[in-house]
Chains A and B, each alone.
Chain A
Amino acid sequence: MKKILAIALLATASSVALADNDAGCGLGSMVWAGQSGVAPKILAATTNGTSANQTFGITSGTLGCQADGVITSTARLSMFMGTNSERLARDMSAGHGESLDVLANLMNIKTEDKGAFFQAAKVNFGKIFAPENQTAGQVLAALQQVMAKDAVLAAYQAS
């Protein structure tokens, strides 16, 4: 019993640790999180209100990721993934699309390698968006693992 409990605790601890490492600059965003709260659709659109954390200059919870509304160059990929993981998933499963193109651009994939990138991502979609990959960071890590195993894409592995 104690052994099982210990293993269970260890398992939870390590998954928490993983989450911490992948949580920076958008990577902690859940994929398919949906909209938070009930949007007052009818009248919100009317007055085009915005919540305070969209204010130019105030960056809630994204210290080091953006300054005055502009994203720091090192955080571009992670911030994009954090916001666009759903569109990315949709494009990746179909093998083409605008968000996928932007991802390739952010990862500096050369034009001649884009085809291989899209194909590898689609073929391995199940691994990249596996059920245990709940956050954008985990998805990105899985994508990088897939690239590492690909003949052409291994060259892009960031140092």
Chain B
Amino acid sequence: MTFNLSRLVCAIGFLAYSSLSLASPIDNWLIKAKEQHLASHPYWRILLRYEKTQGDKLISSVEQPSFFVSPNGKTNAEAELKATLESLVAAAPTKADDAIACRFPARAAWLRQQLNITESDLASANCPAFSTWLKGINPHEATLVFAADYVNNPSSMFGHTLLRIDAPDQTEETRLLAYAVNYAAQTNTSNGLEFAYKGLSGGYAGAFSVLPYYEKVKEYNDFENRDLWEYQLNLTPVEIKQGLAHLWEMKGINLPYYFLASNCSYQLLGLLEAARPNTYMRRDFPVYAIPTDTLRRVLEEKNILKKIVYRPANGTALAFYAQKNSPTINQTAKQLADNPEFSVDALTATEQAQAYEMAYDYLYYRFLAHEVDKNSTPSKLRNLLVKRSRYPAAERASPPRPLIDPAQSHNTSRFVWGAGYGQDEPFVSVDYRPAYHDLLDSDDGYRRGAAIDFLRLQLRYHTDSQQLKLHRFTFVSIDSLAPRNDFQKPLSWAFALGSQQAAVDHYGAFSTTEQHGVAFIEGGAGISSKLNTEDWLCYSFLQGHLQAGNHLDDGWRVGLGPRVGCRQQSSVGQLLVDVQSLYHQDSNQFLNSVNLGYQWQITPNNAIRLNAHIEQQQQTHWQSGELGWVRYF
């Protein structure tokens, strides 16, 4: 009896054991995955882009079926995870690169790590295309590259970010050979308006591209004259490879592209989140992502910044040399750019070499800007360099790196709380602006003279009459004060759209007691100059505006006339003086206005602002003054 019982126990034991070993590893993994809720793990969501809400579910923002293993992958995270796991043990396909582990190396690696899957459990993971690609990139370090704005294009002030992958044996000199990872809208059009409309409304798909960094440097530094700031990061080689594995999965995959929200910098954050698990940066940008803000966010990560390198644009270098060279060199250079055979005998040998270099830089700059004849210029450029080559080699000073880099510039949104007097009536005020930068803000980290404001709301509560008024709403306001030098003669301009309080009575006549709201559109163009100083920037415009409102004589009025102003930057703060004298058709008179502003910087993100405004027509005037505390966040 005892003998039979023990045999039974043995038999049962044996049966139990064999059933366990007969259960394939895949079944265990699936059970474990369910227990660990891997399908709803934040990292699985990052890899498969489960970011779009549909009802109460999260679905993937990728449309392409090739991105998923399961036919229901887009809407069903569990099904996708199950299908991915099953494919890891499936027979290897004829083409090794087609294996799921080779097409989606980041997913495979993460699942293996989460479920403790050992190599022996899987079909051999030899992925020729992925390995070759990774070897070619040769990743060791990563650098976040920020492209600043270019002259006369304040909307480019928002910047652009891309990632550069640096090789282990890379030096300062060979940075150009690194690879750049860039996210951009896929578009074939050269129609500017279409770009703007579709870019804003999501009409374009976005995708990642990998290309040599030198191509991006040429595009940004040379073609677009944008300075590049290279922020070397402390990501580890393991982290970078993990990020690249995810990038490989994104090959040829389209994601949404929205200029404001799902743009270059937002998607780059996603890549960094894939590289360094448990990093969640995109959460901080639920509505819109401005590249400078994303740059600041990345730099908030502990010990992430290694070094900052500045790479000035051609245009920046040209302006620097124009100021550094003697007038003789500059004058000769301009002649040479027109005619390389121009005589340089009046200059010393060193000066002659510099003149040829300056002439080349100037002519090349104009050539890229389509300002000179495309057919005859290449031979001139060649000729200038041949002449230069006959002089001894000499190193040229590089434009100095601005002290404050874009990441340290004042923050994007701004509140001003203030109080003041308007025609002897006191008021308290609130001024809010979500983005971006105006002429009274500190220009550290920004281009001096460039300003762009959106959706700025200024409210005033008049304590005597207990009236709350919309003092001014600016839908958009752009200033582009581009200073001129011997070589660059840009047109400066300004534009604004919004509504404001105008000192008029019910009949549209100038009033010293009333103000009524008018909608306005205004603009001006002219020239700016630094007046041979370091801190001053002055401008002279022809300005015009169209105002519309119930309280205007014909319901509208037009003003046209001169506008001059000056801006000064010092270590203490910023000064702005603006004077306009616009002739109005309804009153047949000049309406003059003077705006004075001063902002004392206490810290980069805190300041005190003083504003005085005087409007005058003939002998009557309207004046107001205001003092406020400025806070950027």
Verify A35–B368 contact, CB threshold 8 A.
yes
Q: Which residues of A contact B153 (CB under 8 A)?
A: 41-42, 45-46
Q: Which residues of B contact A80 (CB under 8 A)?
A: 176-177, 212, 214
A120 to B388, CA, bound (A): 15
Verify B259–A47 contact, CB threshold 8 A.
yes
Verify B174–A101 contact, CB threshold 8 A.
yes
Partner of B381, one of A32, A71, A101, A123: A32
Given the interface pairs A56-B252, A57-B252, A102-B174, the reply to whether A44 lies near B192 with Cβ below 8 Å is yes
Verify A34–B360 contact, CB threshold 8 A.
no
Q: Scoring A residues 82 to 101 as 1 if CB is less than 8 Å from chain B, else 0, what string do you get?
A: 01101101101111101101
A37 to B191, CA, bound (A): 11
B563 interface hit (Cβ, 8 Å): no
Q: Which residues of A contact B368 (CB under 8 A)?
A: 34-35
A42 to B190, CA, bound (A): 11
Interface positions of A from 90 to 126, Cβ below 8 Å from B: 90, 92-96, 98-99, 101-102, 105-106, 118-119, 122-123, 125-126
Q: Which residues of B contact A71 (CB under 8 A)?
A: 136, 212
Verify A35–B223 contact, CB threshold 8 A.
yes
Verify B185–A89 contact, CB threshold 8 A.
no
A55 interface hit (Cβ, 8 Å): yes
Given the interface pairs A42-B192, A68-B251, A102-B176, the reply to whether A83 lies near B215 with Cβ below 8 Å is yes
Verify A129–B382 contact, CB threshold 8 A.
yes
Chain B, Cβ-Cβ closest to A119 = B393
Of B12-20, B371-379, B611-619, B620-628, which binds chain A? B371-379
Q: Give the one of A31, A84, A118 with max B CB within 10 A.
A: A84
Q: Which residues of B contact A96 (CB under 8 A)?
A: 393, 395
B344 interface hit (Cβ, 8 Å): no
Verify A69–B210 contact, CB threshold 8 A.
yes
Number of A-B residue pairs at CB separation under 8 A? 203
Q: Give the one of A56, A57, A72 with max B CB within 10 A.
A: A56
Verify B133–A68 contact, CB threshold 8 A.
yes
Verify B393–A95 contact, CB threshold 8 A.
yes
Verify A39–B252 contact, CB threshold 8 A.
no
Q: Which residues of B contact A58 (CB under 8 A)?
A: 252
A61 to B444, CA, bound (A): 44
Partner of B190, one of A37, A70, A83, A101: A37
Chain B, Cβ-Cβ closest to A123 = B389
Q: Which residues of B contact A44 (CB under 8 A)?
A: 190, 192, 195
Partner of B129, one of A55, A67, A84, A122: A67
A123 to B31, CA, bound (A): 73
Q: Which residues of A contact B136 (CB under 8 A)?
A: 67, 70-73
B184 interface hit (Cβ, 8 Å): yes
Chain B, Cβ-Cβ closest to A79 = B212
A139 to B156, CA, bound (A): 36
A50 interface hit (Cβ, 8 Å): yes
Verify B185–A47 contact, CB threshold 8 A.
yes
A108 to B204, CA, bound (A): 43
Partner of A38, one of B150, B189, B190, B385: B190
Chain A, Cβ-Cβ closest to B247 = A56
Q: Give the one of A40, A76, A93, A105 with max B CB within 10 A.
A: A93
Q: Which residues of B contact A86 (CB under 8 A)?
A: 222, 364, 381
B182 interface hit (Cβ, 8 Å): yes
Verify A70–B179 contact, CB threshold 8 A.
yes
Partner of A55, one of B209, B214, B226: B209
Verify B367–A32 contact, CB threshold 8 A.
yes
Verify B251–A102 contact, CB threshold 8 A.
no
Given the interface pairs A46-B259, A90-B385, A95-B394, the reply to whether A34 lies near B177 with Cβ below 8 Å is no
Partner of A34, one of B209, B374, B388: B374
A51 interface hit (Cβ, 8 Å): yes
A83 to B215, CA, bound (A): 7
Verify A70–B210 contact, CB threshold 8 A.
yes
Verify B192–A43 contact, CB threshold 8 A.
yes
B193 interface hit (Cβ, 8 Å): yes
Q: Which residues of B contact A106 (CB under 8 A)?
A: 177
A106 to B176, CA, bound (A): 11
Q: Which residues of A contact B198 (CB under 8 A)?
A: 47
Q: Which residues of B contact A105 (CB under 8 A)?
A: 173-174, 177
Interface positions of B from 53 to 90, Cβ below 8 Å from A: none
A75 to B117, CA, bound (A): 39
B386 interface hit (Cβ, 8 Å): yes
Q: Which residues of B contact A159 (CB under 8 A)?
A: none
B450 interface hit (Cβ, 8 Å): no
Q: Which residues of A contact B379 (CB under 8 A)?
A: 131
Verify A129–B385 contact, CB threshold 8 A.
yes
B132 interface hit (Cβ, 8 Å): yes
CB of B538, distance to nearest CB on chain A (Å): 25
Given the interface pairs A50-B182, A95-B393, A96-B395, the reply to whether A89 lies near B382 with Cβ below 8 Å is yes
Chain A, Cβ-Cβ closest to B370 = A38
CB of A29, distance to nearest CB on chain B (Å): 12
Q: Which residues of A contact B378 (CB under 8 A)?
A: 31-32
Q: Which residues of B contact A93 (CB under 8 A)?
A: 360, 385-386, 388-389
Partner of B386, one of A49, A56, A129: A129
Q: Which residues of B contact A95 (CB under 8 A)?
A: 389, 392-394
Q: Give the one of A40, A52, A131 with max B CB within 10 A.
A: A40
Given the interface pairs A49-B184, A68-B129, A98-B176, the reply to whether A84 lies near B199 with Cβ below 8 Å is no
Verify A131–B382 contact, CB threshold 8 A.
yes
Q: Which residues of A contact B226 (CB under 8 A)?
A: 45
CB of A58, distance to nearest CB on chain B (Å): 8
Verify B196–A43 contact, CB threshold 8 A.
yes
B263 interface hit (Cβ, 8 Å): yes
Interface positions of B from 188 to 246, Cβ below 8 Å from A: 188-193, 195-196, 198-200, 204, 207-212, 214-215, 218, 222-224, 226
A58 to B207, CA, bound (A): 12
B166 interface hit (Cβ, 8 Å): no
A54 interface hit (Cβ, 8 Å): yes
A48 interface hit (Cβ, 8 Å): yes
Chain A, Cβ-Cβ closest to B381 = A32
Verify B264–A48 contact, CB threshold 8 A.
yes
Verify A70–B207 contact, CB threshold 8 A.
no
B396 interface hit (Cβ, 8 Å): yes
CB of A92, distance to nearest CB on chain B (Å): 7
A46 to B150, CA, bound (A): 11
Chain B, Cβ-Cβ closest to A47 = B199
Q: Which residues of A contact B385 (CB under 8 A)?
A: 89-90, 92-93, 125, 129
Given the interface pairs A56-B207, A70-B136, A90-B360, the reply to whether A50 lies near B251 with Cβ below 8 Å is no
Verify A126–B386 contact, CB threshold 8 A.
yes
Chain B, Cβ-Cβ closest to A125 = B389
A141 to B493, CA, bound (A): 48
Q: Given A45-B155, A56-B209, A118-B393, 7 other A-B contacts at CB below 8 A?
A: A41-B153, A49-B189, A52-B187, A96-B395, A101-B173, A105-B173, A122-B393
Please name 5 pairs of A and B residues whose Cβ atoms are closer than 8 Å in the assembled complex, sorted by A.
Answer: A45-B224, A48-B259, A89-B385, A94-B388, A102-B173
Minimum-distance CB pairs A-B, first 5: A95-B393, A69-B210, A47-B199, A125-B389, A70-B136
